[in-house]
């Protein structure tokens, strides 16, 4: 008998196990106001040592420029908003478009990355990327030292269930949840940022309701 | 003085010959030698009392452990209190996992089909040997002699690293704590923070002695040490062709897999190499994609006391142009179907490996993970290990584990999927006791007795304390003989009767006594 059959037989031989309906009595949404949700998101991200700014749509370029001030080279996904890409290239910064895909060594030699994002969760300060052309493949937001994420304020949900409902529309996309920069607490539980992934996380929240 | 010390040691059941050997070893190394890799990571061949007797002598380890578990517990409590719906989430988590067990064959078949549709290759492994063989044959076919690894309990359980090493393939652990454990030729002592028993000075000594290029550090600051690990591993990530991971969950409905981590080493392994091999226990399935919303709230808060761990990766088979282009999934039984047979005990299969039960367990916190003689220590290990091994015979050291508990109930309170660990402990004690009625007492009974005599008598406890003082004087350091600070002897050694779970008084007592660790 092959291993699969044998394992399935063993499970069945273990006897009937009663099923239960899954009660989902936990919170799925909240009554929180939009401004509270944004404020919670900022607080949770800052708690994870991310640098956060809130700007009107017209301010994204300047914010990107500022967040990249220490970078000399930047990788961007092929579908990134053109004006954002231009902002990444200000002050002579070299912009590398990940199309055709950069080699691992090239990525390793790149200081920063700018991506868009799919959805955020204010309750836990999490931002979710699902690999669409404005976010790029997973490696580009992993290898460079600084990750600048642009997040639309309207894409910030209060709770995890609300965010999962959105990513669930495309469950097969490779999806990365990010909460703060890479961190370890493995030595005496002292938090050290930037062990393997990006050492710096910078978030630009775009609020459509703000005027310039 | 040394004679006096040895005499005191012997009087409380310690073997002075052992610790003098370890002492020499430790002096040479600069760190406590820990536990060498055993043949079977599920069962190292000693009983809990024997293991505890050794670990209790290591005061430094106990100090490291007490500090770290105290800190995680405080964080966990804060993060759990933030959520008004914690109990509802626990209930949902528990029911989802029960449903998984109720429908496991169908869920596994759907899962296999979905992974396959997305270009993944699914393998089934009845036991550790079969899983190792499959992993090795995939790696061998790639013609590489090293692989990078994401920390994973499943691969620890099957001893994959040793298996590969014997065949000339080096498996690099890339989680910082796993790397510390691997470099010091030690075993993990905790399932989330495997090097919890090490302090910064020991880590520095380990890195200086064993890391490639034998670096020298100016300080023992965690930042400096972590940055050395980063530099060391970056090269591996960029060059590795094959990676190996475990999985925190697999979604049957879509074939999606998940890894929750902090350092980004997981993302590196899951993304950069061309081939990915994932080893996953068959019980890790959840039915629907939506279930992610439950475990993504329960797991990080319970495991590390964070609102969310820094990185979580979800992937389904292979995605063109993004991540590995060849994906193998090994579905592992290795005793899980034994656990399923037991109506009460099968609840242990709901475990999501958060380690909250370890961090709160008064027995784990003084005896440390190595005392359990298995990769699964603490309360969950005490119920899971003997069941995975189908151990009921008193001669099997794994049957001592269900007795390694005070039954205080704290593990049940913190468990995010509501596994009633005390109930299962009592149930297993009963099963083991029943299976061994009659016959002569064996080494295990005698060992239990030995521990009992230390811990049941105030006088001997006092002597143990004195021995520690003498140890300081004689050895010039204070880590050789531990006092045994727990009034748990009766329950630890309740080998004959099935004790009823006590009221909550122990826990209250414990909290009052240990305010300072909060
Ligand atoms: S038994 Fe519960 S508390 Fe312990 S590791 Fe498993 S899920 Fe966590």
What does the pLDDT read at residue A189? 84
Q: Does B175 touch chain A (CB under 8 A)?
A: yes
If you ran DSSP here, which 8-state letter would residue B319 be given? B
User: Which secondary-structure segment (H or E) carries B472?
Assistant: helix B458-475
- Has residue B28 got a pLDDT over 90? no
3-state class (DSSP) for residue B171: strand
Alpha-carbon distance of B225 to B176, in angstroms, equals 10
Question: B415 in ligand 1 pocket by Cβ < 6 Å?
Answer: yes
| 8 Å CB contact between B432 and B445 | no
Q: A48-57, A94-103, B6-15, B326-335: which range is least confident on average? A: B6-15
A143-174 per-residue burial string, b: 16 or more CB within 10 A, e: under 16: bbbbbbbbbbbebbbbbbbbbbbebbeebbbb
- Has residue B73 got a pLDDT over 70? yes
Alpha-carbon distance of A40 to A35, in angstroms, equals 9
CB contacts of B229 in chain A (<8 Å) are 195
B181: CB partners within 8 A, 6+ apart: B34, B173, B187, B188, B194, B195
Cis peptide bond upstream of B90, omega within 30: no
pTM of the predicted model, to two decimals? 0.88
- The secondary structure of B490-513, three-state, reads HHHCCCCCCCCCCCCHHHHHHHHH
Measured between alpha carbons, how far apart are the two ends of chain B, in Å? 38
If you ran DSSP here, which 8-state letter would residue B47 be given? -
In this predicted complex, what is the ipTM? 0.97
User: Which secondary-structure segment (H or E) carries A178?
Assistant: strand A175-178
3-state class (DSSP) for residue A26: coil
| 8 Å CB contact between B343 and B102 | no
**Does B103 or B440 have the greater pLDDT score?**
B103
- Tokens 């299976």 appear where? B435
Token output for B242: 């094959």
Ligand 1 atom closest to Cα of residue B191: 5
Give the model's confidence band at B473: pLDDT under 50 very low, under 70 low, under 90 confident, else very high. Answer: very low
The pLDDT tens digits for B207-244 are 999 988 888 998 889 889 988 888 889 999 999 999 99
Token output for B178: 């796993």
Q: Does A173 touch chain B (CB under 8 A)?
A: yes
- Has residue B144 got a pLDDT over 50? yes
| 8 Å CB contact between B49 and B492 | yes
What does the pLDDT read at residue B442? 54
CB contacts of A177 in chain B (<8 Å) are 296, 308, 311-314
Alpha-carbon distance of A26 to B318, in angstroms, equals 33
Alpha-carbon distance of B507 to B90, in angstroms, equals 21
Q: Does B263 touch chain A (CB under 8 A)?
A: yes
Burial of B516 (0-12, 13-18, 19+ CB in 10 A): exposed
Alpha-carbon distance of B466 to B469, in angstroms, equals 5
List all residues of chain B from 26 to 85 with a beta carbon under 8 Å from chain A: 64, 67-68, 71-72, 84-85
- Has residue B491 got a pLDDT over 80? no
Question: Which parts of chain A sit beneath pLDDT 50?
Answer: none
Alpha-carbon distance of B180 to B34, in angstroms, equals 12
What does the pLDDT read at residue B191? 94
Ligand 1 atom closest to Cα of residue B302: 8
What does the pLDDT read at residue B20? 52
State the average pLDDT over residues B497-508: 43
Q: How many CA atoms are closer than 13 Å to the CA of B361, on its beta-carbon side?
A: 26
Q: Does A17 touch chain B (CB under 8 A)?
A: yes
By most ligand atoms within 8 Å of CB, the mutation choice from B92, B302, B363 for ligand 1 is B302
| Residue whose C-alpha is closest to residue B266's, from A136, A120, A183 | A183
The dihedral of CA B236, B237, B238, B242: what is its sign? Answer: positive
Residue-by-residue DSSP string for A69-104: TT-SEEEE-TTS-HHHHHHHTGGG-EEEE-SSPPPH
What does the pLDDT read at residue B449? 52
CB contacts of B262 in chain A (<8 Å) are 182-185, 195
Alpha-carbon distance of B60 to A157, in angstroms, equals 46
| 8 Å CB contact between A73 and A96 | yes
**Does A64 or B404 have the greater pLDDT score?**
A64
What does the pLDDT read at residue B236? 92
Considering chain B, what is the average pLDDT of its residues? 84
Q: Whose CA is nearest to atom 2 of ligand 1?
A: B415
| 8 Å CB contact between B246 and B259 | yes
Alpha-carbon distance of B350 to B96, in angstroms, equals 9
Alpha-carbon distance of A104 to A89, in angstroms, equals 21
Length in residues, chain B: 518
Q: How many CA atoms are closer than 13 Å to the CA of B343, on its beta-carbon side?
A: 3
Alpha-carbon distance of B89 to B91, in angstroms, equals 5
What does the pLDDT read at residue A22? 85
What does the pLDDT read at residue A9? 97
Query: Residue A161 and residue B293: Cβ atoms within 8 Å?
Result: yes
- Has residue B15 got a pLDDT over 60? no
Measured between alpha carbons, how far apart are the two ends of chain A, in Å? 70
Query: Residue A172 and residue B118: Cβ atoms within 8 Å?
Result: yes
| 8 Å CB contact between B338 and B281 | no
Beta-sheet strands, E only, within B242-389: 242-245, 249-251, 256-261, 275-281, 285-286, 311-316, 326-332
| 8 Å CB contact between A111 and A146 | yes
The dihedral of CA B213, B215, B221, B227: what is its sign? Answer: negative
- Has residue B456 got a pLDDT over 90? no
| Residue whose C-alpha is closest to residue B291's, from B95, B85, B84, B83 | B95
User: Which secondary-structure segment (H or E) carries B26?
Assistant: helix B16-29
What does the pLDDT read at residue B429? 95
Considering chain A, what is the average pLDDT of its residues? 95
B49-88 per-residue burial string, b: 16 or more CB within 10 A, e: under 16: bbbbbbbbbbbbbbebbbebbbbbbebbeebbeebeebeb
What does the pLDDT read at residue B440? 54
What does the pLDDT read at residue B1? 39
Alpha-carbon distance of A16 to B137, in angstroms, equals 36
What does the pLDDT read at residue B487? 37
What does the pLDDT read at residue B10? 59
Q: How many CA atoms are closer than 13 Å to the CA of B277, on its beta-carbon side?
A: 28
List all residues of chain B from 201 to 230 with a beta carbon under 8 Å from chain A: 203, 222-223, 225-227, 229-230
Q: Whose CA is nearest to atom 7 of ligand 1?
A: B351
What does the pLDDT read at residue A182? 85
**Does B117 or B13 have the greater pLDDT score?**
B117
Q: Whose CA is nearest to atom 4 of ligand 1?
A: B357
If you ran DSSP here, which 8-state letter would residue B301 be given? H
């Amino acid at each position: 008998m092959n291993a699969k059959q044998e394992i399935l037989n063993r499970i069945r031989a273990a006897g009937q196990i009663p099923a239960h309906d899954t009660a989902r009595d936990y919170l799925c949404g909240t009554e929180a106001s939009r401004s509270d949700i944004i404020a919670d998101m900022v607080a949770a991200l800052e708690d994870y040592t991310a640098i956060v700014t809130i700007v009107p749509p017209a301010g994204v370029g300047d914010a990107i420029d500022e967040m990249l001030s220490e970078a000399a080279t930047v990788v961007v996904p092929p579908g990134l908003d053109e004006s954002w890409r231009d902002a990444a290239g200000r002050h002579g910064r070299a912009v590398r478009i990940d199309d055709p895909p950069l080699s691992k060594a090239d990525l390793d030699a790149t200081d920063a990355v700018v991506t868009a994002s799919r959805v955020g969760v204010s309750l836990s300060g999490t931002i979710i990327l699902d690999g669409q052309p404005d976010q790029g493949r997973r490696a580009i937001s992993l290898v460079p030292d600084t990750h600048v994420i642009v997040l639309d304020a309207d894409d910030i949900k209060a709770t995890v269930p609300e965010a999962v409902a959105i990513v669930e529309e495309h469950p097969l996309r490779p999806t990365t949840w990010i909460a703060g920069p890479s961190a370890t607490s493995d030595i005496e539980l002292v938090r050290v940022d930037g062990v393997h992934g990006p050492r710096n996380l910078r978030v630009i929240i775009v609020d459509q309701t703000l005027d310039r | 003085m040394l004679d006096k010390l040895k005499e005191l040691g012997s009087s409380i059941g310690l073997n002075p010959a052992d610790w003098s050997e370890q002492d020499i070893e430790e002096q040479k190394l600069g760190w406590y030698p820990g536990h060498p890799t055993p043949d079977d990571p599920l069962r190292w061949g000693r009983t809990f009392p024997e293991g505890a007797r050794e670990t209790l002598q290591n005061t430094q380890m106990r100090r490291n452990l007490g500090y770290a578990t105290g800190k995680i517990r405080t964080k966990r409590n804060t993060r759990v209190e933030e959520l008004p719906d914690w109990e509802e989430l626990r209930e949902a988590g528990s029911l989802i996992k029960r449903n998984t067990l109720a429908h496991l064959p169908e869920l596994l078949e759907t899962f296999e089909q979905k992974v396959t549709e997305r270009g993944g290759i699914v393998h089934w492994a009845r036991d550790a040997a079969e899983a190792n063989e499959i992993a090795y044959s995939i790696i061998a076919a790639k013609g590489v002699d090293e692989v990078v690894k994401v920390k994973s309990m499943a691969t620890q359980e099957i001893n994959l690293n040793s298996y590969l090493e014997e065949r000339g393939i080096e498996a690099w652990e890339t989680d910082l704590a796993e790397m510390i454990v691997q470099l010091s030729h030690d075993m993990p002592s905790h399932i989330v923070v495997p090097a919890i028993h090490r302090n910064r000075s020991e880590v520095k000594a380990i890195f200086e002695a064993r890391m490639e290029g034998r670096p020298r550090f100016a300080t023992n600051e965690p930042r400096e040490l972590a940055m050395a690990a980063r530099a060391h591993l970056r090269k591996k990530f960029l060059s590795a062709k094959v990676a190996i991971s475990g999985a925190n969950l697999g979604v049957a409905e879509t074939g999606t897999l998940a890894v929750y981590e902090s350092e980004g080493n997981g993302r590196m392994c899951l993304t950069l190499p061309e081939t990915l091999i994932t080893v996953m226990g068959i019980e890790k399935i959840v039915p629907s994609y939506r279930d992610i919303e439950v475990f993504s709230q329960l797991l990080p808060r319970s495991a590390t006391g964070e609102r969310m761990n820094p990185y979580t990766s979800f992937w389904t088979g292979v995605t063109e142009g993004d991540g590995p282009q060849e994906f193998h999934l090994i579905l592992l039984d290795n005793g899980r179907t034994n656990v399923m047979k037991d109506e009460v005990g099968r609840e242990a299969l709901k475990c999501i490996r958060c380690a909250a039960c370890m961090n709160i367990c008064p027995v784990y916190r003084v005896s440390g993970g190595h005392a359990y003689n298995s990769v699964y220590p603490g309360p969950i290990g005490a119920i899971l290990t003997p069941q995975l091994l189908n151990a009921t015979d008193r001669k099997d050291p794994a049957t001592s584990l269900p007795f390694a508990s005070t039954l205080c109930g704290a593990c049940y309170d913190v468990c995010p999927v509501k596994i009633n660990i005390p109930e299962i402990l009592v149930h297993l004690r009963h099963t083991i006791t029943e299976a061994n009625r009659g016959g002569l007492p064996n080494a295990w009974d005698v060992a239990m007795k030995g521990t009992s005599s230390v811990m049941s008598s105030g006088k001997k406890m006092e002597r143990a304390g004195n021995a520690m003082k003498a140890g300081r004087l004689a050895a010039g350091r204070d880590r050789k003989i531990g006092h045994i600070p727990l009034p748990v002897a009766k329950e630890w050694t309740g080998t004959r009767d099935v004790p009823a779970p006590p009221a909550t008084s122990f826990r209250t007592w414990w909290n009052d006594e240990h305010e300072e660790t909060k």
